[in-house]
């Protein structure tokens, strides 16, 4: 380290300043006015893989190799000259690539050091390794992502495998499956994996309402109450994806307009005379059997065939076999992280209860159960008493072996059926 700068830094003749800097738990680089490297402390040597001897006099951009070095270095002007000292001082996050070809997230704070007369002496670049924080952030954001679809059974694996290709295709998609199986998540995933991902994802719930109102809601109005054109859901989804969460709720008249929209890629707003060109991908879902709906006259046959070009069926949880155990573990981890609790697993009895339940509400019900259990569990292991009452009801009758005590039942139809032993 340059002794003159060192002396000026401390105002004293202190030869131990490098040792002091090296004792700091974060990386420190001392740079001259041209941002050439004078000194790296031990933490930064470890982070970058370079020793001070290797890189003394080398421009810091070749040592730190930070994302902030090439574009927007806080201490260099556009022309590459050193900027005024007061231009430094702010913190910024980025990455560096070290000598071992590892990309490391870091936070850089550049601090200009001035002498007593206010003259620039050197810059201290302080780098904090954010790897651990970023890892945790990524883990939590992935776990907590609302669009996250998980599953290990053969059907789900097949579905997840073809999902990216279907998403890329741009064709209309029909999603079928019982309530709580994840149709909404699948629709979001289709949008997220599609080239339209940066555009809008508009969800439409065609709840019963006067047809004229629904028409305006869906297809817009040429002239709204304020005299201005009022965009409908389809216009709002321009270039993006429109998700019809229950196609059976849509009146037949609107189904006809939707069919024309799919064919002509244009829509005529209510009260308008000029069709508006639309580029919208339609994803429709239903919890019922679409063929039965067509027979019952609830779904137009031509629209059904148009949507049915790509059909994805989400199986109910009771048909997903090993996924129950996998999903229990998945949501336990997710909610333990979310609630910052050290809940590590289920007791044997709780596991037996959960494994023998039919989950008429499918994944949504399982997820809610685990959320509740993690919330009320005070220790590391979820016990039967931490599960919702309707699930542990048979245990309250005095049975000791949960699996044996559960009465055999048929296929569940209600949302709150007591647990039963699996065949």
Partner 1 sequence: MGKKILVTLYRDEVAPRFDLCSEVLLVTVDATGHEVRRQDLVLAHSSADDLCDLILDREVAVVITGGIEEEHYHYLRWKRVEVIDGVAGLSGEALALYLRGELEPGAILFKGLSHE
Assess 138 for contact with partner 1 (CB under 8 A).
Answer: no
CB of residue 98 to partner 1, shortest distance in Å: 7
Residues 74-93 that bind partner 1 (CB under 8 A): 80
Q: Pick the closest to residue 123 from 104, 141, 140, 110 (CA basis).
A: 110
CB of residue 70 to partner 1, shortest distance in Å: 5
Q: How many residues bind partner 1 (CB under 8 A)?
A: 24
Q: Which helix (H) or strand (E) holds 271?
A: none
Task: Decide whether 197 or 205 has the Cβ nearer to partner 1.
Answer: 197
CB of residue 61 to partner 1, shortest distance in Å: 5
Which residues are CB-contacts of 28 (< 8 A; sequence separation ≥ 6)? 21, 39, 40, 41, 43, 44, 124, 125, 126, 127
Residues 23-62 that bind partner 1 (CB under 8 A): 53-59, 61-62
Backbone angles phi, psi at 28, to 5 degrees: -135, 130
The total of other beta-carbon atoms located within 10 Å of residue 220's CB is: 23
Among 13, 86, 101, 116, binds partner 1 (CB under 8 A): 101
Q: Pick the closest to residue 18 from 50, 49, 62, 52 (CA basis).
A: 52
Q: Where are the alpha helices (DSSP H) in 208-322?
A: 211-219, 233-236, 252-264, 290-295, 301-307
Task: Decide whether 164 or 170 has the Cβ nearer to partner 1.
Answer: 164
Task: Decide whether 52 or 255 has the Cβ nearer to partner 1.
Answer: 52
Q: Which helix (H) or strand (E) holds 21?
A: helix 17-22
Assess 1 for contact with partner 1 (CB under 8 A).
Answer: no
Chain centroid to CA 44:
33
Assess 103 for contact with partner 1 (CB under 8 A).
Answer: yes
Among 70, 165, 296, 415, binds partner 1 (CB under 8 A): 70
CB of residue 240 to partner 1, shortest distance in Å: 24
Among 33, 83, 87, 97, binds partner 1 (CB under 8 A): 97
Q: How far apart are CA 115 and CA 78, in angstroms?
A: 26
Residues that bind partner 1 (CB under 8 A): 53-59, 61-63, 65, 67, 69-71, 80, 96-103
């Amino acid at each position: 380290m340059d002794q003159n700068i060192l002396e000026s830094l401390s105002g004293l003749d202190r030869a131990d300043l490098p040792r002091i800097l090296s004792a700091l738990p974060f990386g420190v680089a001392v740079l001259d006015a041209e941002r050439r490297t004078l000194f790296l402390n031990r933490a930064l040597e470890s982070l970058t893989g370079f020793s001070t001897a290797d890189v003394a006099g080398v421009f810091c951009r070749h040592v730190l190799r930070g994302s902030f070095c090439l574009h927007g270095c806080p201490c260099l002007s556009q022309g590459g000259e050193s900027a005024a000292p007061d231009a430094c001082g702010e913190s910024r996050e980025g990455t560096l690539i070290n000598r071992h070809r590892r990309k490391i997230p870091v936070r850089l704070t550049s601090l200009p050091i001035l002498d007593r007369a206010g003259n620039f002496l050197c810059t201290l670049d302080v780098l904090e390794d954010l790897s651990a924080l970023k890892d945790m952030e990524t883990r939590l954001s992935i776990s907590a992502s609302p669009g996250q679809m998980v599953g290990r059974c053969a059907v789900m694996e097949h579905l997840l495998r073809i999902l990216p290709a279907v998403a890329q295709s741009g064709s209309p998609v029909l999603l079928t499956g019982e309530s709580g199986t994840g149709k909404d998540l699948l629709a979001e995933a289709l949008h997220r994996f599609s080239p339209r991902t940066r555009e809008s994802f508009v969800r439409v719930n065609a709840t019963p309402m006067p047809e004229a109102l629904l028409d305006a809601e869906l297809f817009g109005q040429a002239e709204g109450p304020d005299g201005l054109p009022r965009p409908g859901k389809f216009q709002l989804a321009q270039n993006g994806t429109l998700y019809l969460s229950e196609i059976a709720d849509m009146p037949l008249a609107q189904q006809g307009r939707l069919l024309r929209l799919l064919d002509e890629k244009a829509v005529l707003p209510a009260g308008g005379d000029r069709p508006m060109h639309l580029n919208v991908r339609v994803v429709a879902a239903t919890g019922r059997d679409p063929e039965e709906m067509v027979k019952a006259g609830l779904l137009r046959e031509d629209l059904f065939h148009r949507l049915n070009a790509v059909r994805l069926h989400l199986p109910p949880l009771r048909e997903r076999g090993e996924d129950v155990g996998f999903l229990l573990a998945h949501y336990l981890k997710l909610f333990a992280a979310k609630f910052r609790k050290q809940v590590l697993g289920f007791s044997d009895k709780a596991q037996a209860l959960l494994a023998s339940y039919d989950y008429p509400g499918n994944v949504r019900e399982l997820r809610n159960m685990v959320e509740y259990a993690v919330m009320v569990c005070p220790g590391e292991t979820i016990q039967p008493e931490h599960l919702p009452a309707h699930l542990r009801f048979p245990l309250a009758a005095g049975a000791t072996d949960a699996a044996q005590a559960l009465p055999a039942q048929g296929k569940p139809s209600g949302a709150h059926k007591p647990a039963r032993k699996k065949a």
